[in-house]
Homo-oligomer: A and B are copies of this chain.
Amino acid sequence: MNFYAGRIKDLQGLLKDEKLDALVVARPLETAFLTGFSTDGCVMLVSRTGVWAFMSKMLLEQFNSKAPFVKAASCDNTLEAVISKVKEQKFKKTAFEPETETYLRGRFWAKQGCLEKKGLTASLRLVKEGEEITALRRSCRVAAEAFRRIQPRVKTGRTELSVARELEDLMQAKGAKGPSFNLIIGFGAHSALPHHESSERKLKNNEAVLIDFGCVYNGYCSDMTRTFFHGRPTPEFLKVHAIVAASQKAGVKAVKAGVKARFVDKVCRDHIADSGYGQYFIHGTGHGVGLEIHEAPTLNAKSEETLKTGMTVTVEPGIYLSGRFGVRIEDSVLVKKNGCEILTR
């Protein structure tokens, strides 16, 4: 069976479990997840035994070549076309996902009698399998290889943006489609801003360098961060780097199937707090990574989720000393039964 056809079958199984007749899917991320075809303006209807897609004329030929297992049709109004099909098929319980729909479209579905059902496609996306794991492994390896190439080339006088561009080139040369987010290259005090925007600032001698980056490979995102010192590291940088490295290592060690996501956060956070830097670790420990650079589950103190075999998550504690420097170390890891596989190396 085609990989995507198999995925639709999984969704159809969930519909049965949830006693739903059908689900409407309209956001490009989810329609691409179900068909392999990425576009705006395609609306799908998945029932327990059927699957339809409605789109403009110009998309039809390409959609059919990508997803021949879906009954595709062109139409002027995709939302009305879905509702006509729902009526024709006499579906009583058709759902939509309130977290992916816009309010405007969701209200249309609701007015047509559709029900809200959260998390159906998200639950399929949570655990990775087969081709997805292959793509994630490759995506992470491409990123890690690019870092090994770029690190010796980060020299005095280079700008943050020039490093970002060369990293992108290195990853694309290895088959990546592009970066998985706006790469964060922070020199000196910029390394203390967790969401820094790479700039034309030039690297000086004896400064911290933080590189948070990743690529998209066969649709799947990688995410990793390395922090190092350009020049002669100060004792404080060495101390902070060692604390974050130990915290991150302990966090990675804590990852395995059955563990609460918040436990991994606690392990990382406790280590940093015990070292006296608790107030400078100002974000959660990690997040899922897959089709999106940030997806479920969330690894922070409030997380209710439990890690399962096949989830891919980041572990990325950090310490940020405002106006001076910051250190973050991040790997993407694949959750396994008795531990995890570090993908970004």
Q: What interface size band does chain A fall in?
A: 35 or more
How far, in angstroms, from A116 to B106 measured CA to CA in the complex?
A: 14
Q: Which residues of B contact A96 (CB under 8 A)?
A: 103
Q: Most chain-B CB neighbours within 10 Å: which of A38, A57, A99, A103?
A: A103
Docked complex Cα distance between A320 and B62 (Å): 12
Is A16 positioned at the interface, with any CB of B under 8 Å from its CB?
Answer: no
Q: What sequence of 0s and 1s flags, for each residue 90-118 of chain A, a beta carbon within 8 Å of any chain B beta carbon?
A: 00000010111111111100000000101
Q: Are B102 and A100 in touch, CB under 8 angstroms?
A: yes
Assembly CA distance A57 to B294 (angstroms):
18
> Do A101 and B98 touch (CB < 8 A)?
no
Among B62, B104, B182, B194, the residue within 8 A (CB) of A99 is: B104
A282 at the interface (CB under 8 A from B): yes
Neighbouring B residues of A282 by C-beta, 8 Å: 56-58
Q: How many monomers of this protein are in the complex?
A: 2
Q: Is residue A153 within 8 Å, beta carbon to beta carbon, of the partner chain?
A: no
Interface segment, one of A137-145, A171-179, A252-260, A336-344: A171-179
Contact check, A101 vs B99: say whether CB atoms are below 8 A apart.
no
Question: How long is the Cα–Cα vector from A39 to B196 in the complex, in angstroms?
Answer: 10
Interface readout for A17-56 with B: 1 if CB under 8 Å, 0 if not? 0000000000000000000001110000000000000001
| CB of A119 to closest CB in B, whole Å | 11
Known A172-B165, A294-B40; contact A194-B58, beta-carbon cutoff 8 A: yes
- Asked if A80 CB lies within 8 Å of chain B CBs, one says no
CA gap between A179 and B103 in the complex, in Å: 29
A324, CB-defined interface residue at 8 Å: no
- Bound CA–CA A106/B101 (angstroms): 10
Is residue A85 contacting chain B, with contact meaning CB distance below 8 A?
no
Tell me the complex Cα distance, A116–B58, Å.
33
Expressed in whole angstroms, the Cα–Cα distance for A172 and B168 within the complex equals 11
Whether, in the assembled complex, A305 has its beta carbon less than 8 Å from a beta carbon of chain B, the answer is no
Are B102 and A62 in touch, CB under 8 angstroms? Answer: no
Q: Which of A101, A169, A196, A282 has the most CB of B within 10 A?
A: A282
Asked if residues B101 and A283 are in contact (CB atoms below 8 Å), the reply is: no
How far, in angstroms, from A177 to B179 measured CA to CA in the complex? Answer: 11
Query: How many angstroms between the C-alpha atoms of A179 and B216 in the bound complex?
Result: 14
Pull 20 A–B residue pairs with CB atoms less than 8 Å apart, ordered by A.
A38-B197, A39-B195, A56-B282, A57-B282, A58-B194, A58-B195, A58-B283, A59-B194, A96-B103, A98-B104, A102-B102, A103-B105, A103-B106, A103-B107, A103-B116, A106-B107, A165-B172, A168-B178, A177-B182, A178-B179
**What residues make up the interface of A, taking CB atoms closer than 8 Å to B?**
38-40, 56-59, 61-62, 96, 98-107, 116, 118, 165, 168-169, 172, 177-179, 182, 193-197, 282-283, 294, 320, 322
